[in-house]
């Protein structure tokens, strides 16, 4: 407990690792880059189906290291006493913190050992009458058949699901700036029945959304409602960057731009923004976006690779980019997923692109606009989708992005994330 108290006084940071980097357990050296990027794009579309079709049914401040992984970013945490290591996806598009647990009624194949609650002296199931169980109603909390244990069950539109016991457990983060940060009595999901599109290399998800079950919400006042992250490009030589909490998460200095964070009570998980337009060179394209989210029209999500926009807007954007690109050679995507691709050479020049959020004109670099699918081909990292607009993590790379929940602001600061 003392480590947590010490950490609160100055904030803490943990490592964030890209899924497809050599520092990730998901890294497959035999998988061609085009296949990795194509798979990441397909996962982006799969997440939209989860978001739009998701159904809930019955049944010291820290720093963190963020690791990139096939368009997703990973954090290393530990659960229990003694600490049991878990590799989980850092996801601002979901809330509950969950991992696969013994005994497994029906679990997806996992390469690493499963967490065994019986091996932890700090593991406690949560009763149905507890505040923790009540706070998880949006996660489908219910009561076990004998009425003794709170249970959760979350199903998604792509047929993935997780269900199991709700528990209070010690969650430990390996702070980059000091001793490990132990968070006693963190509410987690201990999944005994999990299946769908989950990778065998991963152990679960750390939800960073706005709902009461997320890590951010559970840290609450201890971090002042502030967190930030800096995402390295997926092809960066250094795969690891930083996620910050508390005072360490304050984004300040030259070049900082801020825009309102917009909440929707009917969808508390998501962080909505108001994107007013996107400029390609001198051509400014108005953005309408999704009809959900109150006055917000796009969500910002760490777990989605591509930026997903309505079909009509995508057509205008793609045409504007294609019209203003000079040099290079237009080509097709080897995987057949992306629609605007080029073979880059020294003559290729891309037009300047600016995302005009309310109060913040964010100038994007070529690495935010195009994604490298192999050594010879780059493709536009936007995709047409009419269900839900999402500002994906390619567009967020090499920006320090700070969330200030009490002030309801999101800040962007251009940053070389490999140096964080």
Q: 2-247 and 249-419 share one CATH topology? A: yes
Task: Indicate the fold that domain 249-419 takes in CATH.
Answer: Cathepsin D, subunit A; domain 1 (2.40.70)
- pLDDT > 70? residue 369: yes
Query: Is 50 exceeded by the pLDDT of residue 163?
Result: yes
Q: What is the pLDDT of residue 284?
A: 98
> Domain locations in the chain?
2-247, 249-419
Distance (Å) of CA 341 to CA 230, 334, 377, 381: 27, 10, 7, 10
pLDDT tens readout for residues 265-281: 888 889 999 999 999 99
**pLDDT class of 250 with cuts at 50, 70, 90:** very high
Whether the predicted pLDDT of 217 surpasses 70: yes
Mean pLDDT of the chain: 84
Measured distance CA(376)–CA(217) in Å, rounded: 43
Looking at the annotation, which residues are catalytic? 91, 301
Which two structure tokens, joined as six digits, stand for 220?
């609450």
Q: Which residue has the higher pLDDT, 61 or 299?
A: 299
CB 363 within 8 A of CB 372: no
Span between the terminal Cα atoms of the chain, in Å:
27
| 204 closest CA partner among 213, 212, 194, 215 | 194
Task: Name beta bridge partners: 101.
Answer: 115
pLDDT for res 391: 96
Would you state the CATH architecture of domain 2-247? Answer: Beta Barrel (2.40)
* Separation between Cα atoms, residue 168 and residue 394, nearest integer Å: 35
The pLDDT assigned to 56 comes to 33
Provide DSSP, 373-388: -SSS-EEESEEE-SS-
Three-state SS at 181: strand
Question: What is the sign of the dihedral through the CA atoms of 21, 97, 275 and 228?
Answer: negative
Answer for the pair 184, 122: CB distance below 8 angstroms, yes or no.
yes
pTM for the model stands at 0.87
Count of CB atoms situated within 10 Å of the CB of 252: 9
Cα-based distances in Å from 16 to 75, 218, 417: 5, 20, 10
pLDDT value at residue 94: 86
For residue 55, pLDDT beyond 60: no
What is the mean predicted confidence (pLDDT) over 159-174?
90
Instruction: Please say whether the beta carbons of 410 and 300 come within 8 A.
Output: yes
pLDDT > 80? residue 157: no
User: pLDDT at position 136, please?
Assistant: 82
Identify the CA nearest to 395 among candidates 275, 295, 248: 275
pLDDT at 141: 79
pLDDT band at 368 (very low <50, low <70, confident <90, very high): very high
């Amino acid at each position: 407990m003392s480590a947590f108290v010490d950490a609160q006084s100055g904030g803490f940071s943990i490592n964030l690792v890209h899924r497809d980097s050599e520092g990730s357990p998901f890294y497959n050296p035999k998988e061609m880059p085009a296949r990795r990027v194509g798979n990441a794009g397909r996962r982006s579309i799969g997440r939209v189906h989860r978001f739009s079709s998701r159904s809930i049914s019955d049944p010291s401040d820290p720093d963190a290291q963020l690791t990139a992984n096939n368009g997703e970013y990973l954090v290393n945490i530990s659960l229990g006493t003694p600490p049991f290591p878990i590799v989980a996806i850092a996801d601002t598009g979901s809330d509950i913190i969950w991992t696969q647990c013994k005994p497994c009624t029906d679990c997806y194949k996992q390469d690493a050992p499963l967490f065994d609650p019986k091996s932890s002296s700090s593991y406690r199931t949560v009763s149905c009458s507890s505040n923790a169980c009540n706070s998880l109603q949006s996660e489908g909390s219910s009561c076990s058949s004998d009425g003794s244990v709170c249970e959760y069950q979350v199903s998604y539109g792509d047929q993935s699901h997780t269900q199991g016991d709700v528990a209070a457990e010690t969650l430990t983060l390996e702070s980059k700036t000091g001793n490990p940060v132990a968070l006693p009595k963190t509410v987690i999901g201990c999944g005994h029945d999990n299946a769908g599109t989950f990778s065998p290399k991963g152990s679960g998800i750390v939800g960073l959304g706005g709902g009461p079950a997320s890590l951010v919400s559970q840290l609450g006042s201890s971090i002042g409602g502030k967190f930030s992250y800096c995402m390295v490009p997926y092809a960066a030589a250094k795969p690891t960057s930083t996620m910050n909490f508390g005072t360490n998460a304050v984004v300040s200095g030259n070049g900082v731009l801020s825009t309102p964070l917009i909440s929707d009570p009917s969808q508390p998980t998501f962080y909505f923004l108001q994107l007013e337009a996107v400029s390609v060179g001198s051509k400014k394209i108005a953005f309408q976006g999704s009809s959900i989210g109150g006055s917000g029209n796009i969500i910002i999500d760490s777990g989605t690779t591509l930026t997903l926009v309505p079909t009509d807007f995508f057509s205008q954007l793609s045409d504007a980019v294609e019209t203003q690109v000079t040099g290079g050679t237009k080509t097709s995507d080897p995987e057949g997923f992306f629609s605007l691709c080029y073979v880059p050479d020294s003559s290729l020049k891309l037009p300047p692109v600016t995302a005009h959020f309310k109060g913040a004109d964010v100038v994007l670099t070529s690495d935010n606009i195009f994604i490298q699918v192999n050594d010879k081909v780059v493709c536009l990292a936007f995709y047409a989708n009419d269900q839900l607009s999402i500002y994906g993590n390619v567009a967020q790379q090499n920006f320090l992005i700070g969330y200030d929940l009490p002030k309801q602001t999101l800040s962007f600061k251009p940053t070389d994330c490999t140096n964080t």
